[in-house]
Amino acid sequence: MSETSHPEKRTRARASRFSPSAWLLYAFILFFISLIGGIFSTVLLSSFANTWFGGWLPDSFSTKWYVFAVEEFNLWRVLRVTLIVAVTVVALSLLVGVPAAYALARLKFRGKGLVFLVLLLPIMVPPITYGIPLATMLYEYGLAGNLSGVIIANLVPAFPFVVVIMVPFIEQIDPNLERSASMLGASRFRIFTRVLLPLAIPGVLAAGLLALVRTIAMFELTFLTAGASSQTLVVSLYYATFSAGIRPTQSINAMAVIYMAMTTSVLILALRFINPVQIVSRVRQ
């Protein structure tokens, strides 16, 4: 007994000290941090820079580019559109996605695998691929070029995403709780609203927040369906960069900082509820 556990003990002891492979791991993480951190900080510093010509740091600092960005890019309207789109998309996705996830997690029926595959398709196929025919269709029916088109298009990847996150969450809830509620005479609807939903709230929150981040960050579908007055933040950011030269880089970076603050704060909130490995471990099947 002591002999069989010996080699494992030795590896564990080695792993807790820093082995060469651990050094490599942490070196890479450091490299990655400095890359992402460098990109982050450059944008952040530049947005507060009065001017920045080629040195390590800006020459002097000011907040004037934020004021400039608010006026030049119509920032309040863009932010309002972004929030309306994101919140509507998330609300509709939860409404459609949570019951679907419940059915996939708890019920047994024919063709379940096929339904799951169909729901996975909009996540696996990149948005620009289906976005072009989708936008063409929406324009044909007069639904694109405005807010409703942006919301409809963004719904396509959002609600399957909610399903994919919610299924494992519901699966891990003990089915005996529902069975006892059922034995005590609760109806299916009552079980769903009184037993299951309260227990699934962390999952619903996580799915909602992650869908929110993804919708705020969704460039392609919004880009293809938005009109001039229904651009979200990420699309205005793209147009601003695209037409760079007309506008100072610092003002574009100010907009990027606002976008960054928005997405990361929602993400950090979401990560409190969910382990990121869970997000993708479902897709692999």
Partner 1 sequence: MNGTAGKLTKPALESPSVGAARRFRANWLAIVLLGPAVLLVLVLFIYPFIYGFQLSFDTESGGRFANYRNFFGDARERATIWNTFRLALPATLINLAVAIPLTYRMRRKVRGQRFITGLFVIPMTLGTVLIAQGMLSFFGPSGWFNKTLELLQITDDPMRLVHNRTGVIISLTIAEFPVVFLILLGFVSGIDPNLERAAQMLGAGGWQRFKRIMLPLMIPGIATAFALSFVATFAVFPSAVMVGQPAGETRVIALAAWQAAYERFDFGAASAIAIVMASIEVLVLVIVLGGRARFYRGPSSGGKG
Q: How many angstroms from the chain centroid is the CA of residue 194?
A: 29
Identify the residue among 78, 196, 220, 226 touching partner 1 (CB under 8 A).
220
Contact 105, 167 (CB under 8 A): yes
Q: Which helix (H) or strand (E) holds 61?
A: strand 60-61
Q: Is 165 in the site for partner 1 (CB under 8 A)?
A: no
Tokens standing for residue 81: 């559109």
Segment lying near partner 1 (by CB under 8 A), choices 62-70, 121-129, 166-174, 176-184: 121-129
Torsion, CA 242, CA 246, CA 252, CA 254, rounded to 10: -170
Contacts of 42 (CB under 8 A, 6+ apart): none
Tokens standing for residue 215: 């919708």
Q: Is 91 in the site for partner 1 (CB under 8 A)?
A: no
Site for partner 1 in 33-52 (CB under 8 A): 33, 35-36, 38-40, 42-43, 46
Q: Is 129 in the site for partner 1 (CB under 8 A)?
A: yes
Contact 119, 163 (CB under 8 A): yes
Q: Is 197 in the site for partner 1 (CB under 8 A)?
A: no
Site for partner 1 in 144-163 (CB under 8 A): 152-153, 155-156, 159-160, 163
Q: Is 176 in the site for partner 1 (CB under 8 A)?
A: no
Q: Which helix (H) or strand (E) holds 27?
A: helix 20-47
Identify the residue among 2, 13, 17, 110 touching partner 1 (CB under 8 A).
110
For residues 89 and 97, give the distance between their C-alpha atoms in angstroms, rounded to a whole number.
11
CB nearer to partner 1: give 126 or 142. 126
Segment lying near partner 1 (by CB under 8 A), choices 68-76, 81-89, 113-121, 173-181: 113-121
CB nearer to partner 1: give 104 or 181. 104
Contacts of 261 (CB under 8 A, 6+ apart): none
Identify the residue among 1, 17, 109, 176 touching partner 1 (CB under 8 A).
109
Q: Is 234 in the site for partner 1 (CB under 8 A)?
A: yes
